[in-house]
Amino acid sequence: MFEVRLEEHPLPTTRDDADQLIDWLVATFGLVRRRGEEHADGDRMQPVVRLLREHLLARPKEGVDAATLADEMGLTAASLHHHISRLAACRLLSSRSEGDGWRRHFLRGGSIVAAVELLSNEASQILKLQLSRLEGWWQRPDDVSMKNDIGSSDRESDFRIWICEPRPLPPVDGINELSLWMADLGLMGDRPGPNLAGDSLPVKVLQLLLSRGPPLSLDEAASELKGPKARISRILERLRTAGIVERVPRTDRLAANLWTAMMTQHKRRGEDWILLKGGFNRIVPDRSIENLTKALAKGKLTPEMVEKELAKVEPKEQMLLLNLLGGRLPLGHRMIGNDPGATSAKVMSRLDRILRRTKRVAEMLEQAMS
């Protein structure tokens, strides 16, 4: 069964160092877990790296049999089988039986470039198939825009997703189609365990996002789902790194947060500070400055008045004003598209970027090895 774990990394800084290029491929396909300082100098002595460098890439068309691999690498049969299986699952490796009873392993297509090309085609088709299933769970209303919506201004996180071809439900109590789908895409972490249940917290978080129009703040999620904020934050971050969810400023709360900041700073520092360092003279129209300062002096300022007076000020300028006043706009999470097709297109775009990088590194690696 096809299964690959893709993690986005910057392109290597070298074009002819085979070890660095192999390290990059191994990291991108998630074939080595990096923990602590043991991988600070790369993964050159990891079994899967040696398997690629010393055998499969050294003899791409000839291949190598399992007996030779076990002898030359000093691995047990179980360990060798594990690494071979991982490479075969992501379609980099193919095998055939020999007449002597051993299996000979070789790169698909006879080269790393051909193997990566075949992997890329299969990964794209399978992920597209998996994402098409979102339509059956999508319940968001058609109009999901916020007041002053400016979209996501957040830096994209490094892309990380698993791609596993669809499979039947395993005989596990409580599991359902959505929870299995999340596990297959790596949205439940490395070891889903009890999260495979259809009523687990990760499933509830995604169901809430699939049915909710405005962005979901961490406080709202914790209150509605009765779960710990730290755990919900980790779940949302996994959805975000998979490209399914985006983090956006809650501009629908902009007027209320500006009102709070204005009232607080006027009480602490006075009108002169608000006019100069608070940004009023730079951002707020002259007529609105007069109306707002009079209301502040009388203690009669309201969020509705703030929204009315700043109606002609661009949302990004209002956010700058809030920053100058020492306020902070909360962030929320929402599905990255207004419909399942848009979400799928965004994720596929991220996948295409990482696959293009992988093909480029495969070409450089083939040149370096030759």
Q: What is the mean pLDDT of residues 259-265?
A: 94
Contact 239, 158 (CB under 8 A): no
Q: State which of 50-64, 102-116, 146-160, 223-237 shows the largest mean pLDDT.
A: 223-237
For 73, list phi and psi in degrees, rounded to 5. -95, -10
- Structural domain includes residue 128: no
Whether 13 and 105 share a structural domain = yes
CA separation for the pair 71, 69 (Å, rounded):
5
pLDDT of amino acid 250: 86
CA separation for the pair 154, 80 (Å, rounded):
43
Categorize the per-residue pLDDT at 35 as very low, low, confident or very high, splitting at 50, 70 and 90: very low
pLDDT of amino acid 31: 87
CA separation for the pair 41, 61 (Å, rounded):
30
Whether 59 and 87 share a structural domain = yes
pLDDT of amino acid 38: 45
Whether 256 and 238 share a structural domain = no
Q: Which amino acid belongs to residue 237?
A: E
pLDDT of amino acid 205: 96
Categorize the per-residue pLDDT at 153 as very low, low, confident or very high, splitting at 50, 70 and 90: low
Whether 159 and 93 share a structural domain = no
Task: Using the predicted structure, report yes or no on whether residue 67 has a pLDDT greater than 60.
Answer: yes
- Structural domain includes residue 162: yes
Nearest Cα to 181, choosing from 130, 235, 113? 130
Whether 220 and 262 share a structural domain = no
Whether 241 and 261 share a structural domain = no
Whether 244 and 283 share a structural domain = no
pLDDT of amino acid 40: 45
Whether 10 and 79 share a structural domain = yes
Contact 107, 93 (CB under 8 A): yes
Contact 73, 51 (CB under 8 A): yes
> Which pTM does this prediction carry?
0.84
Position of tokens 């830096």? 155
Whether 104 and 38 share a structural domain = yes
Please state, for a pLDDT cut of 90, what percent of the chain lies above it.
56
More confident residue, 41 or 358: 358
Categorize the per-residue pLDDT at 64 as very low, low, confident or very high, splitting at 50, 70 and 90: confident
- Structural domain includes residue 341: no
Of 98-112, 168-182, 311-325, the range with the lowest mean pLDDT is: 98-112
73-125 pLDDT, tens digit each = 888 888 888 888 989 998 899 888 876 667 888 899 989 999 999 999 999 99
CA separation for the pair 48, 95 (Å, rounded):
16
Question: Which one of 184, 219, 248 terminates a domain?
Answer: 248
Task: Using the predicted structure, report yes or no on whether residue 231 has a pLDDT greater than 70.
Answer: yes
Residue 311 belongs to domain spanning: 252-324
- Structural domain includes residue 226: yes
283-307 pLDDT, tens digit each = 999 999 999 999 999 999 999 999 9
What's the structural domain count of the chain? 3
- What CATH number should be reported for the domain holding residue 19? 1.10.10.10
Categorize the per-residue pLDDT at 43 as very low, low, confident or very high, splitting at 50, 70 and 90: low
What value does the CA radius of gyration of the chain take, rounded to a whole number of Å? Answer: 27
Question: Which one of 248, 263, 287 terminates a domain?
Answer: 248
pLDDT of amino acid 42: 54
- Structural domain includes residue 119: no
**What is the Cα 54 distance to its own chain's centre?**
33
- CB neighbour list of residue 64: distance below 8 Å, 6 or more residues apart: 55, 56, 104, 105, 106
Task: Using the predicted structure, report yes or no on whether residue 39 has a pLDDT greater than 50.
Answer: no
Question: Which one of 225, 248, 271 terminates a domain?
Answer: 248
Alpha helix positions (H), the chain: 18-28, 47-50, 66-73, 77-89, 112-131, 134-137, 177-184, 201-211, 218-225, 229-241, 254-269, 271-276, 280-283, 286-298, 303-309, 315-324, 340-369
- Structural domain includes residue 351: no
237-255 pLDDT, tens digit each = 999 999 999 998 888 888 9
On the 0-12 / 13-18 / 19+ scale of CB atoms within 10 A, 350 is buried
Q: What is the mean pLDDT of residues 332-338?
A: 89
Whether 20 and 58 share a structural domain = yes
121-147 pLDDT, tens digit each = 999 999 999 999 999 999 988 766 656
What's the sign of the alpha-carbon dihedral 166, 5, 240, 349? Answer: negative
For 75, list phi and psi in degrees, rounded to 5. -105, 150
Q: Kindly report the average pLDDT of the chain as a whole number.
A: 88
- CB neighbour list of residue 102: distance below 8 Å, 6 or more residues apart: 65, 66, 67
Q: Give the end-to-end CA distance of the chain in Å, rounded to a whole number.
A: 32
Task: Using the predicted structure, report yes or no on whether residue 191 has a pLDDT greater than 90.
Answer: no
What's the sign of the alpha-carbon dihedral 354, 357, 362, 363? Answer: positive
Position of tokens 């209320």? 256
- Structural domain includes residue 333: no
- Structural domain includes residue 43: yes
Whether 145 and 240 share a structural domain = yes
SS3 293: helix
Whether 197 and 260 share a structural domain = no
Q: Which amino acid belongs to residue 345?
A: A
pLDDT of amino acid 37: 42
- Give me the residues paired with residue 317 across strands: none
Crossing angle of helices 112-131 and 340-369, in 10° steps, is 170
- CB neighbour list of residue 156: distance below 8 Å, 6 or more residues apart: none
Extract the tokens encoding 134: 């979102």
pLDDT of amino acid 36: 45
